[in-house]
Homo-oligomer: A and B are copies of this chain.
Amino acid sequence: MAREHVIDPSVIHHQWDSGLEPVLAVNSGDTVHYDIKVAGDGQVWPGASYEDTRFDFDTIYNLSGPVWVNGAEPGDTLQIDILELRHGDWGWAAFLPGFGLLPDDFPRGYVRTFALQDQVAEFAPGISIPLAPFCGTLGTHPGEPAQLSPFPPHRGGGNIDNRHLTAGSTLWVPVHLAGALFSCGDPHAAQGDGEVSVTALEAPLSGSMRLTLHKEAISTPRFRVPATGAAIRAGGYQATMGLSPDLMESSRIAVRAMIEWLADSCGLTADDAYLLCSITGDLRIIEVVDAGVWNVAMTMPTAIFDASS
């Protein structure tokens, strides 16, 4: 019979490590209740500026787990049903020197913090971001190597930064070690496809996930997203296109043009426009087959703008 577990929120780890003692053992079908610290907890705080922050990349991610799944073996598939996620009362977003899609355009560092209330963050006068919480990092230990950094993503999932994995969605990832060694963290209150500035709207989350084991293999992570009638992106969007022979360069062109448009039409600074692209804009591959020129769009949901603006 399926059980429910509350995972100890004080037990965190900062990297994938197959030698860690599991904090919890569960059966297939069990549900785990989480209370997840924000990335950079204690290194950034409400009201902090970039100059105030004390980022330490070795400890910036606070992963909860690992959870041992009884009976899990390499070659199995772990299903994670994301049952519920609630955001905390504040969050932060940033760009950092040398990171993100446009490090040459934005060589400095910039941090903003936000009060989060009633599932909305006020970004600027006339611009409100509906929140859609998810975990940026979740998955199984990849097996090899035994120890590795929480980024980038790996064959067990990890830091996939997939904004679609909100409550109601399901993720399937391959199992690479006995017990699966499931961890999650890096909680995000909002993000666009691409996460272009390098952060989402980072915020503490609490919530519940159900873990189910399947005795069959998948080649790469898969996910399912439910219908969302009130979804932010159902309200239409403004968008820019980057046309070039390289998907990365096309992405850069589209994001630069969106930053220009947000500055011109909404009066945002370039710094704020870049953050908004990261925490709300989506990078979409429009076409990838046309005689060596690929089309990538950055789309910005109309729903974030006041009707009057």
Contact = CB atoms under 8 A, between A and B. Distances in A.
Interface in A192-213: 193-198
B225 A237 contact: yes
Given A155-B243, A253-B220, A196 B164 contact: no
Contact of A227 (B228, B235, B247): B235
19 contacts: A99-B289, A151-B291, A161-B290, A161-B295, A162-B286, A194-B288, A195-B288, A196-B288, A221-B240, A221-B243, A222-B239, A222-B241, A225-B239, A227-B234, A227-B236, A247-B247, A251-B285, A283-B285, A284-B284
A243 B297 contact: no
Contacts of A286: 160-164, 193-195
A260 B216 CA distance: 14
A99 B289 CA distance: 7
Nearest to A261: B222
A229 B235 CA distance: 8
Given A162-B297, A248-B288, A286-B163, A222 B235 contact: no
Interface of A: 99-101, 149, 151-155, 159-164, 193-198, 218-229, 231, 234-243, 247-248, 251, 253-254, 256-257, 260-261, 282-293, 295-297, 299, 302
B151 A290 contact: yes
A103 B220 CA distance: 20
